[in-house]
């Protein structure tokens, strides 16, 4: 997934200004009747990805999330399709403002059952 970070003006937020970047990933059906913590996938609950190889942020504000294969696992093998949601939370500090934004993405994962 790719995108560009903008502040409220909207001006681009440089990667070097980002102080926090976390990723939360969960299965929507599992989390519907509980908190998202119950449906967390691949231990991605407010998982710190700043400075990791999983999320990169350029000085031009472009961010890229490189999904790990374990980020798209089927949680319940009885389902044909699962809906997963990812939230990337960004915070930054500049001389003019402190800012934050959440980028949410819904992912449909199809259960391709093994052919034997």
95 confidence band (pLDDT: 50, 70, 90): confident
Give the pLDDT confidence score for residue 36 in this predicted structure.
57
pTM, rounded to two decimals: 0.86
- Would you say residue 58 has pLDDT above 90? yes
Neighbouring CB atoms inside 10 A of 19's CB total 12
- Would you say residue 33 has pLDDT above 60? no
Give the pLDDT confidence score for residue 30 in this predicted structure.
81
34 confidence band (pLDDT: 50, 70, 90): low
Rounded to whole angstroms, what are the CA distances from 107 to 18, 46, 58, 70? Answer: 25, 18, 24, 14
Domain range list for the chain = 2-110
Q: Considering the chain, what is the average pLDDT of its residues? A: 89
Strand order in the sheet with 2-4: 2-4, 62-65, 55-57
Task: Work out whether the CA dihedral 42, 47, 53, 59 comes out positive or negative.
Answer: positive
Rounded to whole angstroms, what are the CA distances from 81 to 26, 66, 74, 76? Answer: 14, 22, 8, 9
- Would you say residue 77 has pLDDT above 90? no
Give the pLDDT confidence score for residue 98 in this predicted structure.
77
Give the pLDDT confidence score for residue 116 in this predicted structure.
56
């Amino acid at each position: 997934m790719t995108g560009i970070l903008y502040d409220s003006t909207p001006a681009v937020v440089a990667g070097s200004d980002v102080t926090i970047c976390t990723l939360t990933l969960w299965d929507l059906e599992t989390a519907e009747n509980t908190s998202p913590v119950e449906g967390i996938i691949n231990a991605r609950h407010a998982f710190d990805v700043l400075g990791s190889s999983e999320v990169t942020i350029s000085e031009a504000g472009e961010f890229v999330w490189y999904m790990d294969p374990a980020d798209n696992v089927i949680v319940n093998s009885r389902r044909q399709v699962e809906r997963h949601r990812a939230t990337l939370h960004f915070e930054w500090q500049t001389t003019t403002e402190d800012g934050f934004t959440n980028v949410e993405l819904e992912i449909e994962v199809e259960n391709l059952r093994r052919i034997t």
